[in-house]
Amino acid sequence: MKKQVLFLTAALTAAVLAGCSTTDNTGNDTQNGSSGTVVENVVPNHGNTQQNTDNNNQNTTTDTNQNEAEGGDYKMGVGIVSRLKRAQNAGDTDGSAEINTVVAAVTVDGEGHIANCIIDKVENKLPISNTGAIGSPANTEYSTTKELGDSYGMKEASPIGKEWNEQIASFEQYVIGKTVEEVNGIKTDNQGYAEENDLTSSVTISISDFQAAITKAVENAR
């Protein structure tokens, strides 16, 4: 659980930084434009005072329109989807329970388009003996699937030869610029696997929980 909390904090921080980075860039552009305007105004040029004023007004209008076109108001949100994926009762043999938790952190612009997206997953597998004892100590830490990297072991079984962290990176990029409605509109089969050709070439893992987590993240965006 400690790893899960750390990831959630890191994901939210990354989303905040992404939003701040975008806002800062807009702010810097405006500040730089203002600095240029001030320099023009202090240069003695009495014959072109009206022209300078008109230019300044035009620059201000252009900057404002550009900021509005870029979707100026950014919001950040986090969504979590946790499911019991597999369970085996203990009887003559030991049992187990596996809970998978997907976390999505998003930055959304003023028009509802996803400007940045970070997704990770924690797979918590608890072995249970036939005497009812839980096999994992209370302080067990679970690495996220991104943290596991190549050691997760999906690449060899993947039909496209890509590890989980590579596939989720492709999906994160795929949803950028889309609205949550467009993300949920990605065509999938009844097991949540994408069926769109421009996505299946890089993502063959089930995306249904990612879609659900992104939906919650957008709903929680503030």
Q: How many CB atoms lie within 10 A of CB 37?
A: 15
The answer to whether position 173 is within a domain reads: yes
In this predicted model, what pLDDT tens digit does every residue of 137-163 receive, in sequence order? 888 888 999 999 999 999 999 999 999
Residue 149 belongs to a domain: yes
User: So what's the pLDDT on residue 158?
Assistant: 95
Note whether residue 186 is domain-resident: yes
Beta-ladder partners of 95: 128
Report the side by side order of strands in the sheet with 75-88.
75-88, 95-108, 114-128
What does the pLDDT read at residue 94? 85
Beta bridge partners of 86: 98
Q: Is residue 51 part of a domain?
A: no
Name the least confident of 10-19, 76-85, 204-213. 10-19
**Is there a domain that residue 44 lies in?**
no
Residue 156 DSSP class = T
In the chain, how many domains are there? 1
Question: Is the separation of the CB atoms in 127 and 134 below 8 Å?
Answer: yes
154: in domain: yes
What pLDDT, on a 0 to 100 scale, did the predictor assign at position 75? 97
Q: What is the pTM of this model?
A: 0.66
In this predicted structure, the answer to whether residue 67 has a pLDDT above a threshold of 80 is: no
In a domain, 105, yes or no: yes
Residue labelled with tokens 């620059």: 59
CB contact at 8 A, 171 and 193: no
What 3-state class would DSSP assign to 205? coil
